[in-house]
Amino acid sequence: MRIEIEDLHKSFGSLRVFDGLNLTVEQGEICVILGRSGQGKSVLLKHLVGLLRPDKGAIRIDGTDIVPLPEKQLYPYRMRFGMIFQNAGLLHSLNVGENVALPLLEVRNRSYKATMRKVAEKLRAVDLEGKENQLVTTLSGGQQKRVAIARALLQDADCLLFDEPTAGLDPLISQTVDEIIVQVNRKTGATCIVVTHDLVSTFATATRIHLLDQGRVAASGTPEEIRNSDNETVRKFLARAMTATRDEG
C-alpha cells in the first residue's frame, strides 16, 4: 500500500492538531512517525482508517483519495489496515486460532475449514505455526503481539498500524516487539506504520522516519539522515528523547 497525505488540516474546536501536514508512505516500508505526546500521532492513524475526517486535505491510498468517500465505499480501504493495539486486544476465553479467526468468523458464508486453513497460514507468517489450540493466557507478551498481527493479516490487511507498540514495556520486551515488526514486514511485505516517541525502537525498525511537530512533518529521512540531521527541531527532539526514559509519556 502506498499512502500520500497532502495538506491535511484538522482542529478540535480551537485546538489545531494538523496544519498542512504532508507525508508519503511507500509500499513495503517501515515508516516511523515520531513526535512528542499530544502532537497528533494517534489522531493521524485514526484519519488513515477513516475514524476521523480531516477539515481539509487529501489522503490517497494507492492513488484514491479516501477523504470524500462515503462510509460504505470507505469500508474496503479500512479493511486493508490492521491496527495492532497496545495490549494486543486478545480475548482470553478463546484459544490462539479462534482469536486470529475472529474477524472472519463474524462474516457469514465462510466455511470454518477454509477459515482455519487461512489461520494456519497466517500463524506461520508470524512464527507461531501449529499454536492454534494454545490458550492465549499461556503466551508471552511478544507471542500475544504476534497473534494480534496474525489476526490483522487474516483480513488481508496490507498495512499494519502500530500505536506506541513499546510504550510501558521493559527494554527487553520492547526489543522483541521491534524484532517482530521487522520480521513480519520482511516476511509479508506489508507496509508498516509505527507511531512512537521511543528512539531506540525507531532506529531498530524504521526504513524511513518522519518527525511530527506543531501540526506538520518537521523532517523526513532515512534513519541515517535523521540521526545526522542539522534541522533544529530534530536535534531538539533527539536530545530530549535521549535523556528521557523509554516509556515516558
Ligand X SMILES: Nc1ncnc2c1ncn2[C@@H]1O[C@H](COP(=O)(O)OP(=O)(O)O)[C@@H](O)[C@H]1O
* Contacts with ligand X, residue ranges (CB under 6 A): 12, 15, 17, 35, 37-43
For residues 205 and 196, give the distance between their C-alpha atoms in angstroms, rounded to a whole number: 11
Question: What is the closest distance, in whole angstroms, from the C-beta atom of residue 247 to Mg ion in the complex?
Answer: 13
Stretch that binds Mg ion, among 40-48, 101-109, 181-189, 220-228 (CB under 5 A): 40-48
Partner from ligand X, Mg ion, none contacting 238, C-beta within 5 to 8 A by type: none
Question: What is the closest distance, in whole angstroms, from the C-beta atom of residue 196 to ligand X in the complex?
Answer: 10
155 counts as binding Mg ion under rule CB under 5 A: no
Q: Which three cell numbers stand for residue 219?
A: 523532517
For residues 154 and 159, give the distance between their C-alpha atoms in angstroms, rounded to a whole number: 12
Nearer to ligand X, 12 or 75 (CB): 12
Question: What is the closest distance, in whole angstroms, from the C-beta atom of residue 63 to ligand X in the complex?
Answer: 26
Question: What is the closest distance, in whole angstroms, from the C-beta atom of residue 122 to ligand X in the complex?
Answer: 28
Rg (CA), the chain: 18
Partner from ligand X, Mg ion, none contacting 38, C-beta within 5 to 8 A by type: ligand X
For residues 116 and 22, give the distance between their C-alpha atoms in angstroms, rounded to a whole number: 41
Nearer to ligand X, 39 or 202 (CB): 39
Q: Which three cell numbers stand for residue 20?
A: 498542512
Main-chain phi, psi angles of 4, to 5 degrees:
-125, 115
Nearer to ligand X, 38 or 76 (CB): 38
Partner from Mg ion, ligand X, none contacting 228, C-beta within 5 to 8 A by type: none
CB 196 within 8 A of CB 166: yes
What letter does residue 219 receive in the DSSP assignment? E
Nearer to ligand X, 51 or 91 (CB): 51
42 counts as binding Mg ion under rule CB under 5 A: yes
Burial 151-163 (b: 16+ CB within 10 A, else e): bbbbbebbbbbbb
**Shortest Cβ contact with Mg ion: which residue?**
42
Nearer to ligand X, 158 or 198 (CB): 198
CA angle centred on 106, ends 104 and 112, rounded to 5°: 55
Stretch that binds Mg ion, among 41-49, 138-146, 200-208, 235-243 (CB under 5 A): 41-49
- Reference 197, options 5, 6, 37, 49; nearest CA is 37
Question: What is the closest distance, in whole angstroms, from the C-beta atom of residue 45 to Mg ion in the complex?
Answer: 8
Secondary element (H or E) of residue 7: strand 3-12
Question: What is the closest distance, in whole angstroms, from the C-beta atom of residue 35 to Mg ion in the complex?
Answer: 9
Question: What is the closest distance, in whole angstroms, from the C-beta atom of residue 44 to ligand X in the complex?
Answer: 7
The bridge status of strand 15-25 relative to strand 64-65 is: unpaired
Binding site for Mg ion (CB under 5 A): 41-42
